[in-house]
Chain A
Amino acid sequence: MILERLTKTSLIALMLLSIATVGLQAQSRTVSGTVIGGDDLPLIGVNVLLVGTNSGTVTDIDGTYTIEVPDNSAAISFSYTGYQNQEIAVAERSTIDVVLMESSNLLDEVVVVGYSTQRRSDLTGAVGQINSEDIDKYTFSDASLALQGRVAGVSVQAQGGAPGADAVVAIRGTGTLSDAGPLYVIDGMLTGSMSSLNPSDIATISVLKDASASAIYGSRAANGVIIITTKKGARGEVKVELDASAGTQSVINTYDWADARQYADIVNRADDNDGVPRSPANDSEFNPNFTSDLYGESLRNAPIINTNLRFSGGSENLLYSLSLNYFDQEGIVQFSDFKRMTARANTTFTKGRFRLENTLGVTRTINNPNPYFNKERNLLPTIRLKDDTGEWSTSDIPNVPGAPTLGSFYGQGTIRNELGMAALEDRTVTRNTLLANIGASYEIIEGLVYKLNLGAELFDNNNYQFTPAHPVFVAAGNNDFADLRETNTRYLSQLIEHTLNFKRIMGAHSFDFLAGYTAQKTNSRTLGVEARRFPTNSIRIASAAEEISNTPAQDLTSVIQSAFGRISYTFDERYLFTATLRRDGSSLFKDGLRWGTFPSMAIGWNISNEDFMSGINGITNLKLRASYGEIGSNNVGIYTTDPQLNLFSEYIFGTSPGRVPGYSITNGVNPNITWETTKTTNVGVEFSSMNNRLNVTMDYFIKKSEDVLVGLRLPLYTGFGNPIPFNTASVDNIGFEFLASFADRVGELDFNVSANFTVVNNEVTALGDATPIIQGSFTSNNINSTKTDVGQPISSFFGYIVEGIYQTDDEAAAANDQAGNPQAGDFKFKDVDGDGDVDGDDRTYIGNPTPNLEYAFNVGLGYKGFDINLFFNGVSGNEILNGTKYRGYFDFNGNYLADALNAWTPTNSGSDIPRNTQVDPGFNRRMSTFYLENGAYFRLRNAQIGYTIPESVVEKARIGSARIYLSATNIFTITEYTGYYPEVGRNSRGGSRRIFNSGVDEGAYPVPRDMRIGLQVTF
């Protein structure tokens, strides 16, 4: 209500303001000329603008222009991407020819910062920015992947390669014990994700890394802020750009699973070792015709297509851009695919002092995931995937009276046909998203601009899953009836912002003041249905079900109100000062703890502008900057502070047993929680040399996150099983970032190289009363792998150290193992504390899932019409838990890796794989170094080779320009990791927080290699 009223009144105010605009009247004449580059060739499309106005033109095909000027005191500015801007006073001339010098000068780059833009030379904070030129060089399936390796300090990790999967974005390490990610600001709208964007709609992505830059976003900034602007039109004729690419994706590495014969040999040996009779299917009745290759059948080469069409242009007052995108990715795992359709309309209207900007993005995504791929407990290779009739099945035992049971024929183990389940089950997540923003600004007096910004994000999400009645599901332990689960969520987030910005230069003093007020309200309302027993498998709507078993529903609202301000002051372009302050009030917290203040301050010194530097030609720019600030993370679920009764503590009573409702208090609540605070100190150096062809930026940061929420498990005797959040943990991230770029031209060869690396050390420095967090399960048999405790990085691997294999029973008995009863051939675990036994005290920290070094290189080459761009990145210092080893060597619920044949036997005593056993008395399966592998990798992440067809050819075809390209991802990867791919993300098993499953790989959806051919045409 409040927001709506606000919106309405604001609009009225704006209309009044716009009426007050004044047109300009003046005596005019024309000026014309030619603009050429350093190589004496004409430059086409140079922006020629009358200084101080929005009127201007662009140069034509010969580099010529004509512009109206009001009088002799006018000045004209010439700007062209990649060249240094020039401003020329007209005086009495009517012809002005200009030579623009090429520039790789980042200093003039305009950087998007919170609620404004700044010249890079004026920045005091650590801000990384990438522009559309960097993004458009490559093809990305998800917008967040465009950031990967591009900005020092930003870690982007794909969650496996499933189509449509989100990536985990962490800025300068993880300073929270939750899955909270950065705040995204898309064209002014504050939101939680950028995955609804079409990557090629992005104009800039700006990452606010230190507190000086991000404190303007207050209680939501502690995990970093990513500001995205989308492409606008440019003044000129209608430009039509078409970019279409199509290609194929393939799996990069596979596991070598046992075939039926190998499987039977492994299990027979295990049964012999265990003193258990061999199963008929593996021995007396082994049938070589009954075999399956589950993973061979599950993986495929899959097509991917992407089409972008953009219309843009502009007149004196109006700039417009309309883009359409269709992206269709089949998964390299059968029965998974993802489609995204987006439309984006951006317009900018300017009239005198009034400016209206509209951005509107509409996105529809249709995701059909395959949640069954590579899951624990799957089909044995001695069973066919499909029976004689071609139907998915889980047994080849003939259906005759007296036939043996599954277990007695095939041996122990669950038999699930995961491929059949994926094929039969219907799963679709459909989301329609609208992300819209209206920004209206009015320059009240010179330099003072009021802006009203209204944003809305709206989506409806339908999550649909229909499991038909089928023996494959019954065999997996499901019910023998069809089951429908469908949930609809309606989400609306409304934002209103008023800002006043005053910029003025007075001699050597330059001021920039910003003040603002903002409110944002989000609501999500969910209604779902769980229904079962359908007349047939083909009717898949809840109303047809015999029984509605559940109707889950939820309504969540949160509100944040804030005031903020920023002062930037520059003296003589030498001394820079910035201070920001934001005050946030949040409905997530109780009254009294609700309001928080987040200050920051920064100073900068442009040393190269000092007189004493004027003689030093080698250095064109040298800047030092330092900042300190406090920012927050409102990392709390909605209504977390409200005590509530659980309405679902049912029990069964009655002569005809039935459920009766029961209420109880199941969750303890801490009403006194508040935001997490991160205190960041940043020191940076920027350095340019060789006429700005070489640019280097280095930052050192100390990020101390305090009052971090940690789940404190109260003693269970309180009756509360939930971890209750308390602001008692602290996490430090200390790191160093380096970014360098170099660009030059040798003859007709243009080249640019950039490199960056980030070193971050993460350490939990306090947990308060909370106990260490144990998680990281990689099997449904309750084996945890990570521990988060004081003095260690978050989610460190914790377990036993494998020292080898016991060669004799005596040696095994002497180890005095308390958790198992090992014999010859079982793992020898290290007695770490040296107390003569092997027990829980011998577990120790054995690895870190988070890389402490991430690095990337980008190389771009241009020669005549050809261009080549290569992007390499790598990580090191981390371990990955290869959970497939658990299934492949130890778990009897499914197939084994072929390598299990090479297990220890008395005659193969050199093996490092323990003996085959299904009973596992030595408890070889326990969490140990056996599962861990070096997670370091170096890869050619993206590559693109393009050829721009010469203009002479293109002109005949009556098109503006044309380029064909070959694009590829993950072309090669150097790694020791033996799983599908070393980019594994976070496992989703167990616990609500995936951060504690970092680096745990249960055979996540493999990241594919992607090869495409594409065509870009401009009309």
Chain B
Amino acid sequence: MTNAKIILRSILTCSAILLLTVRCSKDDLNQINPNAVTPSSFWKTASDARKGINGAYSPFTNIWYYTRFEIFASDYRDDVVNGFNTSERTAVGYFSGTSESNATFWVWSAIYQCISRSNEVIANVPNIDMDEGLRDNIVGEAHFIRAFNYFNLLNNWLNVPLITTPITDIEEPNLINQADPAEVWAQIESDLTMAQNLLPDTWAGQDLGRATSGAASGLLGKALLYQNKFSEAKAAFAKIMDGRYMLMEDYAHNFTEEFENNAESLFEIQLISDGNGAWGADAPGRGKGSAYQPDIAPAGFTNQNGMRINQWLLDLFMDEKTINDQVDPRTFTTLFFDSDVTTEYRGKTLASRTYEGKTYAEAFPNGNTFIFANKWLDWEFNGHTGSQDGGWHGAGNNLRMLRYADILLMFAEAEFMLNGSSSEALDAINEVRARVDMPAFSSITMQDIEDERIKELTLERTRYFDILRWGKVVERLVNNPDLKSESAGTSAYKPGREYIAIPQNEIDGNPNFKQNEGY
């Protein structure tokens, strides 16, 4: 070959290669995610507002929150529940929780998901051009959700960061400080006052289950009572004691799927049993039923073998008889215990029964003597033999977070603290007692109110927070290690451990964070 040929051939080849190479587009490197909506295109329409507020409710059904793990941060910590076994998730129940425990991490996490999503709604929805009434309602719901969750935070952790704007609006979110609890209380009051005004009294049809004005008032009263602001609390409760709520005739109807969102109910965690399972949230087709029932069910019926009930509670129930000289009907709804006693109530004969209608002797032929829980287990509804019928996430029984009986008792307490055993206080507590055929009080003490709350509200996520606000954690729990005899006693208690440890993750991620006392 001649040199010329070589050169020609080289040039030809090289230019062909160059041509091919240069034509490759850089645009190919910009790949847009075709699977999801981007946040920048959101918050434009009424439909966006609806989806946004629904998303703020959604963490309530996260397995980390009310569908399961919340119970380890509430009822498992009280003096009624004696949890079997030691474990990382139940550790907080016997003061052994650490900043790394799951109960600490998970519940906190889900709570702040509710809060951050509410903050987005409150910041963005008012700018959407849409029906004003609906817009107010949605913003009101967000205020309610935010307050509800800060209430849980304060009572569990006390020293928490107060965030009320979208996190992206905060310049250095990892440097914010924990708020003074008083500030958080103030925010809760302000949110609930807003919610009270923005929300409707009722929701109908497919909106049933959303927060209402009455729920906001009730929670506001509760928040005020927890701060010992008795007269303001009384006023808040009085506002909704106007006939819009009433006690269900049958006490047991507050704990079954059949009577969800009933006349007594102010706010419920909405659950469904539709066959969907799988762990987790915010993913397609995840379960939206509850899975905490195995943690409270009698031994041997579920795989969790969670806990038993301390004897003193049954003793308390047995200490007093109905007007017909029978056992308080609430005993049978609340507990499963080894006794043949029965009570005639609303045309039914109540006896100690659990899943599949079993008697204690049938359930424990070998002579177990433990007392177990029965509330929420809903084994009678819709052909169920047990609330775990549908497997994990199976139970569709709504969890009542605030009901009118509680409002009446809190009203009575506020009034009692203001004016003693007044007729207003007596009327309120006696209304609750009358529903279960218990004789009316003619005068009351604080102990009577406490006892009534226990009998009415056990396993309704209130007992621990009552003894906390009354300053009785040491007296009731720490000094009675037998109440936690099935796990590790109470020796791990240190002053300050009334509250849960701030999750290690927050301490590690924010140099300004301080761990709670006692950890």
Contact = CB atoms under 8 A, between A and B. Distances in A.
A591 B27 CA distance: 10
Contact of B510 (A519, A530, A654, A715): A715
Interface string A759-776: 000000000010100100
Interface in B16-72: 16-17, 19-21, 23-26, 28-40, 42, 48, 50-61
A650 interface: yes
Interface string B395-420: 01000000000000000000000000
Interface string A526-550: 0000101000000000000001011
Nearest to A17: B13
A343 B32 CA distance: 37
Interface stretch (B130-138, B204-212, B439-447, B464-472): B204-212
B272 interface: yes
B254 interface: no
B24 A653 contact: no
Given A6-B24, A13-B20, A404-B362, A820 B112 contact: no
B58 A651 contact: yes
Contacts of B160: 717
B100 A559 contact: no
Nearest to B261: A655
B509 A559 contact: no
- Secondary structure at the B interface, as helix, strand, loop or mixed, is loop
A802 B88 CA distance: 19
A712 to B, nearest CB: 8
A549 B275 contact: yes
A280 B303 contact: no
Interface stretch (A406-414, A688-696, A699-707, A898-906): A406-414
B205 A715 contact: no
Given A639-B33, A769-B509, A648 B283 contact: yes
Contacts of B30: 587, 591
Interface string B241-267: 000000000000000000011000000
B345 interface: no
Contacts of B216: none
A817 B86 CA distance: 12
Given A408-B366, A840-B100, A652 B270 contact: yes
Contacts of B495: none
A781 B288 CA distance: 22
Contacts of A717: 108, 112, 115-116, 160-161, 163, 173, 506
A721 interface: yes
Contacts of A594: 29
Interface string A336-369: 0000000000000000000000000000000000
Interface in B100-130: 100, 102, 105, 108-109, 112-113, 115-117, 120
Contact of A652 (B61, B113, B388): B61
Contact of A558 (B31, B40, B61): B31
Given A13-B20, A719-B112, A658 B272 contact: yes
Given A402-B362, A719-B113, A771-B505, A657 B54 contact: no
A919 B31 contact: no
Interface in B322-341: none
Contacts of B23: 2, 5-6, 9
B28 A774 contact: no
Contacts of A774: 100
Contacts of B491: 816, 818, 821
A910 interface: no
Contacts, number: 346
Contacts of B25: 2
A481, A554, A712, A716 pick with most chain B CB within 10 angstroms: A716
A716 B506 contact: yes
A919 B35 contact: no
B172 to A, nearest CB: 11
A819 B59 CA distance: 30
A663 interface: yes
Interface string A404-424: 111110011110000000000
B364 interface: yes
A664 B355 contact: no
Contacts of A820: 86, 96, 488
Nearest to A483: B275
A713 interface: yes
A653 B272 CA distance: 9
B503 interface: yes
B392 interface: yes
B93 to A, nearest CB: 13
B39 A719 contact: no
B61 A651 contact: yes
A818 B101 CA distance: 13
A22, A555, A717 pick with most chain B CB within 10 angstroms: A717
A561 B20 CA distance: 13
A643 B20 contact: no
Contact of B167 (A719, A771, A781): A719
B88 A715 contact: no
B205 A655 contact: yes
B101 to A, nearest CB: 9
Interface residues on B, range: 35 or more
B84 interface: yes
Nearest to A772: B508
A407 B109 contact: no
A647 B33 CA distance: 14
A414 B301 CA distance: 9
A406 B86 CA distance: 24
A782 B87 contact: yes
Interface string B6-19: 10011001101101
A921 B487 contact: yes
Interface in A368-406: 377, 402, 404-406
B342 interface: no
A567 interface: no
A919 B270 CA distance: 34
A857 interface: no
Contact of A585 (B26, B59, B368): B26
A405 B301 contact: yes
Contacts of B28: 2-3, 519, 521, 559, 561, 587
Interface stretch (A152-160, A326-334, A444-452, A937-945): A444-452
B486 A919 contact: yes
Contact of B10 (A448, A481, A650, A663): A448
Contact of A920 (B86, B109, B115, B205): B86
B41 to A, nearest CB: 9
B509 A648 contact: no
Contact of B260 (A408, A558, A657, A922): A657
Contacts of B31: 557-559, 587, 638-639
Contacts of B89: 782
A377 B305 CA distance: 13
A81 interface: no
Contacts of B73: none
A549, A555, A644, A662 pick with most chain B CB within 10 angstroms: A662
B372 to A, nearest CB: 11
Given A644-B37, A666-B113, A919-B85, 5 more contacts: A277-B368, A638-B31, A648-B282, A717-B173, A719-B113
Interface of A: 2-3, 5-6, 9-10, 13, 16-17, 20, 22, 276-280, 283-284, 377, 402, 404-408, 411-414, 442, 444-445, 448, 450, 474, 477-481, 498, 500, 517, 519, 521, 530, 532, 547, 549-550, 552-559, 561, 585-587, 591, 594, 638-639, 642-655, 657-666, 712-721, 769, 771, 774, 781-783, 816-821, 839-840, 892-893, 918-923, 925
16 contacts: A13-B16, A402-B362, A405-B358, A407-B302, A412-B299, A448-B10, A478-B391, A517-B17, A645-B42, A653-B54, A655-B205, A662-B53, A715-B510, A717-B506, A720-B116, A922-B86
Which 9 A/B pairs are nearest by Cβ-Cβ distance? A407-B300, A719-B116, A662-B54, A664-B55, A662-B55, A644-B36, A414-B303, A550-B285, A649-B55
